[in-house]
Amino acid sequence: MNYHLELKNVKKSFGSTSIIRGVNLNIKKGEIHSLIGPNGAGKSTLYNLISGVYKPTTGTIKFNNKNIENLPSYEIYRLGLSRSFQITNIFPKMSVFENIRCGLLWSMGYHYSTYKILDKDKNLNMKTNEILEQISLSKFSKESAGLLSYADQRALEIGITIAGGAETILLDEPTAGMSKSETQRATKLISNIAKNRTILIVEHDMGVVFDLSDTISVLVYGEIICSDEPDKVKINKAVREAYLGD
């Protein structure tokens, strides 16, 4: 079977320390796939390997049957794989509107143009407003992004991530540090954007994980110890010992 995103025997070491020790991970098209595991298991490193921040020491990563393990991040993005970050990663000095609009530029074919005036493109500005509507930030459109509240910045981050129309999204702890009501809002937003998309999500809030996921993979000390449906993961003995802890 061909998977949408396929990691085969991926290893990554920094000096003599191996962080990822042979990960095999298969993600089907259209599913919400959660990656859980204790702190230091290598979840962020794995994300950085998939998205081209790091190159794997050995192993292959295939996205839509194309090897991407040696591509730079921006080319992986152009293939349709976009990601958010654990630490909020927005353009703080630019307005909320500009943040989203920048996220749209590449996919709308603007690339490095030095002669097209952006304010004149009604279609682009309309699309920007649609995304602002979707992430409920329309009212802050003109504010500078750095002034938004934490939860709103996280929403903006998701907005930038999805703006370019990528069909596969990696989300890194999208609800970390949020209050209950904020988490609810974020969960709603995620299930909303998951329509027609494939989502890989790293999350510590088990409520969110078991609520959203079609598949859950458990990463412990650089290895996937289990990858299955939520109900089966819940009763998996190895997972309970290593992670769920009861």
Partner 1 sequence: MGKEMFNSIKLKFISLFILILFLLFLPYIFSSSFALTLFCKMGVLIIFSVAYNMLLGQTGLLSFGHAIYFGLAGYASIHILAAINNSYLPSLPLVLLPFVGAIVGLILGVSIGYLSTKRLGTAFAMISLGFCELITALTLIFVVFFNGEDGIQADRVTGNDLFGLTYGPQSEVYYLILFWCIITVLIMYLLTKTPFGRMCNAVRDNQQRAEFIGYNVRKIRWIAFSLSATFAGAAGSLHAINYEHIGFESVSLVQSGMVLFMAYIGGIGNFLGPILGAISLTYLDTMLSDVTEAWVLYYGVIFVLVIAFAPQGISGIILMHSPILRNNPALLKKLITPYSIFLVSILLLTIGFTSIVELIHSIKSNHETLKFFWLSFNNKNILIWLALGLIMTSGVIASRKSFGLVKEKWNEVMEEIKLSLIK
For binding to partner 1 (CB under 8 A), which residues are involved? 51, 72-74, 77-78, 82-83, 85, 89-94, 98, 101-103, 105-107, 110-119, 160-161, 163-164
Q: What's the closest the beta carbon of residue 238 comes to partner 1, in angstroms?
A: 34
Going by C-alpha positions, the residue among 104, 100, 112 that lies closest to residue 77 is 104
CB of 61 to partner 1, least distance (A): 16
User: Whole-angstrom Cα distance, residue 22 to residue 142?
Assistant: 46
In the complex with partner 1, the residue whose CB is nearer, 38 or 164, is 164
Between 119 and 246, whose beta carbon lies closer to partner 1?
Answer: 119
Residue closer to partner 1 by CB (options 42, 103) is 103
- Please state, in angstroms and rounded to a whole number, the distance separating the CA atoms of residues 20 and 5: 17
Token digits for 129?
């407003």
Task: Please tell me the distance from the alpha carbon of residue 38 to that of residue 218, in angstroms, as a whole number.
Answer: 9
Residue 223: beta bridge partners? 220
Residue 156 C-beta: closest distance to partner 1, Å: 11
Q: Which CB atom, from 151 or from 206, has the smaller least distance to partner 1?
A: 151
Q: What is the DSSP-derived secondary structure letter of residue 200?
A: E
Report, in Å, the least distance between residue 50 CB and partner 1: 12
Helix (H) or strand (E) holding 138: none
d(CA 160, CA 131): 9
Q: For the CA atoms of the chain, what is the radius of gyration?
A: 18
Give the residue with the Cβ less far from partner 1, 1 or 126: 126
Q: How far is the CB of 234 from partner 1 (least distance, A)?
A: 33
